[in-house]
Amino acid sequence: MARQPIQAGRFYKEDFAKLETELKECFTGKLGPGDLPANRDESKKIRAIIAPHAGYVYSGQCAAWAYQAIAESHFPKTYILLGPNHQGTGSSLSLEDWKTPFGIIKNNKDLTRKIHETTGLKIDESCHNNEHSIEVQLPFLQFISKDKMKELQIVPITISEDLKITEFANNLKKILEDEDAVIIVSSDFTHYGRAYGYIPFEGEPQKRIKEMDKKSIEYIKNNQLKELLDHIDETQSTICGIIPIIILMQTLKEYKATLEMFYTSAEISGDVKNSVSYASIIFK
C-alpha cells in the first residue's frame, strides 16, 4: 500500500502532463535557475539540501535551485526527508511507499527499520496522513530522477517538538556513516503578517524580513547552532522547519554550505502584508 498524494491539485498540479510543465517552469522561470538540469556528474557529491515546501506557484522556483544541484550530482541509494509536522501529530517514520501523479516512490524499508530500531523513533503512518512538507518534495525528486526512477528510494520522517533532538541527531549521524544517503530538509523561513500571527515590525517589513532571514541563513551556513538558536529566541522567528534544520546541523557537524536562492512570496503575489520566505541551501 502506498501513501496517497493528498496535496495534488492544491500545492501542485495533479495531472501528469500539467505537473511536468509546472516543474519545467519552476526551473526556467525568472526566479529559477534559468534552465533544466544538466547531465548528472557522479563525481560531484551533495550531502544535504534545505528546500521550501509551499505551493509550487510560490516556492517552486526557489526549490528548483536545490534540486538542480541534486540532479547534477551523484545519485545516492536513499534520500532521507526531514519535514516539520504542521498538524501537531508528533514525530514518526513512514514505512510506506509514496505515490504522486508521476507514480510510486519506493521506501527504503531496510533503512527505515534501521532508523526505527536505532533511534526508537516510532513508525506511524497517521502522522503523515495530512502533512504536506514531505509530499511536495517528491515530484521534484521524481522529475530530476527520470534516469533513475526504478532506483529512487526515500525514508520519510516527520519531525515535531516531541523528539529528543540531539539524541536523534547523534544516532542518525552514526547510521549515515554506513549509508549512501542525501538528506532533504523541508522548510520555509519567516511567515510574516496577520495571517500568521507574526508582526514584529511594520516599517519596511520586506527589507527587515530579509535581513532577519539572511542572518538565520548565515548561522546555518557557518554551522553556528548556538547563535542560530539565540537569534530564533530573540526574534521569535517563524521558521517552520527549524527542528529539522537543527537535526541536519547536528548530524553533519562539518560541511560547506551555499545559499542558492532566497526570496519571499511577496515577489510572486505582490502581498507585502503577509508573506513567507523561501531559501534553497546546498550542503557539501
**What is the average pLDDT across 71-94?**
96
Q: Is the dihedral of CA 23, 256, 152, 129 positive or negative?
A: negative
DSSP code per residue over 134-160: TGGGHHHHHHHTGGGTTT-EEEEEEE-
What letter represents residue 259's amino acid? Answer: L
Q: How far apart are CA 159 and CA 149, in angstroms?
A: 26
Residue 87 has pLDDT above 90, yes or no: no
Q: Is the dihedral of CA 156, 97, 3, 283 positive or negative?
A: positive
What Rg value do the Cα atoms of the chain yield, rounded? 18
Residue 187 has pLDDT above 90, yes or no: yes
Burial per residue of 204-238, b for 16 or more beta-carbon CB atoms within 10 angstroms, e otherwise: ebeeebbebbeebbebbbebeeeebeebbeebebb
**pLDDT tens-digit readout, 135-167:** 999 999 999 999 899 999 999 999 999 999 999
Q: How far apart are CA 157 and CA 152, in angstroms?
A: 17
- pTM recorded for the entire structure: 0.97
Residue 194: give the domain boundaries: 2-283
Q: What CATH number does the domain containing 97 carry?
A: 3.40.830.10
DSSP code per residue over 158-210: EE-TTS-HHHHHHHHHHHHTT--EEEEEE----EEBGGGTB-S--SSHHHHHH
Please report the pLDDT score of residue 248 as a whole number: 98
Q: How far apart are CA 46 and CA 68, in angstroms?
A: 11
Based on the structure, what is the number of domains in the chain?
A: 1
- Do residues 140 and 186 make contact, with C-beta atoms less than 8 angstroms apart? no
**pLDDT tens-digit readout, 6-18:** 999 999 999 999 9
